[in-house]
Amino acid sequence: MQTSQLLDEDWEYIQTLLPADLEISARTKGALIRSRNVPDAAALLRLALAYGVSDLSLKDVAAWATSLELATITGPGLFYRLREAEGWLEHVLAEVLAKQIALSPGTWPLRIVDATVINGPGPKAVQWRAHVLVDAVSGTFRSVELTDVRGGEKLSRYPAQSGELLLADRIYATARGIHSLRQADAHVLVRFNPVTLRVFSDTNERLYLKQKEAEIPKVGGVEFNIKIPVPPKPTKSHKIWKTEKAIAWIDARAIAARTRDGDVIWLLTTLPAAALSSAQAMALYRLRWQIETFFKRLKSLLHLDSLPSREGPTAKSWILARLIAAALAQLIVQPSGPLSPWGYECQPESLHS
C-alpha cells in the first residue's frame, strides 16, 4: 500500500480496521487528555502514521495536517503529542494484531519467534530490539514487543497459547524459557547447543550429548529422550547451581542430524515422538527462516532500519507507527475475516431483513 493511500484516499476505510476503544484508550493512556489542536484520537493516530511512514519531518507533518484541516498544530506541538503517545500506540498495535488471530492447518498452530535490531544514525551499538512472533503459515506477525539493548531474547517474553508450537533459534534454548512455555501448555522446537544446556537421561544420569556426535550418521537422525532441570531462581551468568535445587524437570527429546557439510545440528522439542518424528522435526524447523524473510520485508518495504533518531523522545513512537502500518497492511492484503468494500467485517446489525 502506498503512503498516500494509507494517509489520504483510504483513510475512511483504514478507520474501520482500528480498535473500537480508540478514543477511550487515547485518554486513559494519557495520549489525548485534552483535545486542544488535535480534535480526536483518530486524528492523532493519523498524525503518528504520517510521521512514522512518510519520512516527513515533524514540521512538515504539522503543515500537512493544517492544510487538510485535520489538526491545527505546530511541529513542537506534534513532538509533545508523540512523546506522550508511546503507551497508547503500543495498545493500538496490540489491538490491531488481536484482530488477526488465525488457526494454522494441522495439529498445532505454528509460531516462529525471534528478534531484530533497529539502529539509528551514529556509531553507538544496538539501541532498539523488536521481539516478534510470526505465524508460520501466513508469514504475518501476531505480536511484537519493543525493548532497548537490555531487553534479552527469551521465550517467556512471548504470549504463547495452549496447544501452540513455537519454533526458535538456539539463543532461546534455555531451561527457564522452555519451562514458561510448558506452563502455558505450549510446545517448543528449538535449535540448541548441547554444551551449554544441562540435560539428563530418563534414569537421571547426566548426558554429555556433544560426546555422542560420532554416533550420528551422514543421512538420517539420532534422538535421545532427555530431562531438563529448571534453575530455582535467576542466577549470575555461568554461576554453578546444584541440580537437586531444580524447581521443575522438563521432559523433552534431543534430535541430531548432519548437514551436507558434515556439521551436526541439534534440535530440542517437547513433543513426543508419536506426535512429531525426528524427520518431521528437521523438516519443520526449516520454517523458522520465514521470520528472517519477514524482517527483511519490514526493513526493505517499511524502511524500519532507517530510524531518524536513535535516542530521541519520539523514536519509539516512530517505530510503533511503522509497525501499526504493517499490521494494518496485513489486514488488507491477507484479510482473515469477511471483507466488504467498506470495512473489515460485515456487521450483522447493518443488514436488513
Please state the domain count of the chain: 2
Strands 187-191, 165-168: pairing is: parallel
Q: What is the pLDDT of residues 10-62, one digit of tens each?
A: 788 888 889 999 999 999 999 998 888 899 999 999 999 999 888 788 999 99
- Residue 171, judged by CB atoms within 10 A of its CB (0-12, 13-18, 19+), counts as middle
- Residue 270, in any domain of the structure: yes
Are both 88 and 173 inside the same structural domain? no
In sequence order, the β-bridge partners of residue 148 are: 128
- Decide if 59 contacts 71 (C-beta within 8 A): no
What is the DSSP code (8-state) at residue 228?
E
Q: What is the pLDDT of residues 332-352, one digit of tens each?
A: 765 444 444 444 444 433 333
Backbone angles phi, psi at 6, to 5 degrees: -60, -40
Are both 278 and 176 inside the same structural domain? yes
List the domain range (segments joined by +) for residue 22: 3-98+312-347
Residue 245 DSSP SS3: helix
Cα–Cα distance for residue pair 59/77, rounded to 1 Å: 9
- Residue 213, in any domain of the structure: yes
Please list, residue by residue across 128-147, b when 16 or more beta carbons sit within 10 angstroms of its beta carbon and e when fewer do: bbbbbbbbbbebbbbbbbbe
- Residue 131, in any domain of the structure: no
Are both 283 and 163 inside the same structural domain? yes
Are both 28 and 68 inside the same structural domain? yes
> Which of 187, 188, 253 lies closest to 223 in space, CA to CA?
253
- Residue 117, in any domain of the structure: no
Q: What is the pLDDT of residues 131-188, one digit of tens each?
A: 999 888 777 888 999 998 788 999 999 988 899 999 999 999 999 999 999 999 999 9
Are both 277 and 158 inside the same structural domain? yes
